[in-house]
Amino acid sequence: MKEILQRWRAIDGTWLEMRRMRPSDAPKVKESLNRLSPDARRSRFFASIAEFSDDAVRRLVDVDPRNEYLLVVTRRDNGMEIPIAGGRFVQQNDGTDCTFSLLIGDPWQGQGIGRRLLKALMREASRRGLRRMCGQVLAGNRPMLALARSLRFAIVDSEQDAGVVEVQRQLAATAWQRWRAFLQSAWRR
Ligand SMILES: CC(C)(COP(=O)(O)OP(=O)(O)OC[C@H]1O[C@@H](n2cnc3c(N)ncnc32)[C@H](O)[C@@H]1OP(=O)(O)O)[C@@H](O)C(=O)NCCC(=O)NCCS
């Protein structure tokens, strides 16, 4: 139970749990990805993916934990964990920025799961000392843009392509980071 970060009931009463993704989740994640609607696939991957291969899923799930933070939300079915949503951020080379993405299974959208995941990603990114979070979003993805706006992300043109916008916001430093910065500046004086 220690590794469960959050546990709550969905609108229909199902218990949901949030924890870090593990490489061993790959087979179940593959099943869940292959159940996604074409719209959800396109909104997350910006492409029409017909079938997620083992390799593609491994690349998504088996990440370097120093640079990437990957969360999964699961429900239980006869004691078995079924992934229903996920979120990640990838740290950029400069060590101050990160890029996030979210994916909620179709039947679970619009129930606050994306908001929970994004807030959990923001907390962890702040804890790691990252200062800015951004994400690439299809310009027509109203739910994602509404979610981003409600969490005070700015929406700007993306360099990626015409149909894509970037959502971005500064991350607040944690109390510990403010204290560390204070100590460092006091030490330098
Ligand atoms: C976009 C996505 C991540 C949002 O997650 P979600 O769990 O469905 O959203 P939430 O229930 O947390 O909603 C958060 C806010 O988004 C907005 N929102 C959610 N669904 C919406 C919809 N269908 N239409 C308009 N706004 C919507 C609302 O402002 C909502 O705030 P509220 O709770 O005050 O009403 C999710 O729908 C998804 O995974 N879609 C497919 C993949 C994708 O688009 N990924 C984003 C690329 S990074």
**3-state SS string for 14-34:** CEEEEEECCHHHHHHHHHHHC
Cβ(6) to ligand 1 under 6 A?
no
Tell me the C-alpha to C-alpha distance, in Å, between residue 168 and each of 68, 100, 162, 178.
Answer: 18, 10, 17, 22
Residue 65 is given by DSSP the state: T
Q: How far is C-alpha 149 from the chain's CA centre?
A: 16
Q: What does the domain layout of the chain look like in residue ranges?
A: 6-188
Architecture (CATH level 2) of domain 6-188:
3-Layer(aba) Sandwich (3.40)
Residue 85 structure tokens: 């949503």
Cβ(115) to ligand 1 under 6 A?
yes
Closest listed residue to residue 79, CA positions, set 15, 166, 152 = 15
Q: SS3 of 41, please?
A: helix
Instruction: Read off the pTM.
Output: 0.92
Mean pLDDT by 10 residues, the chain (189 residues): 88 97 97 98 95 96 94 95 98 91 98 98 95 97 98 92 94 81 82
Closest listed residue to residue 9, CA positions, set 93, 87, 108 = 108
pLDDT digits (tens, 9 = 90+) for 83-131: 999 999 999 978 899 999 999 999 999 999 999 999 999 999 999 999 9
Contact call for residues 66 and 90 (beta carbons, < 8 A): no
Cα of 26 to ligand 1 centre, how many Å? Answer: 24
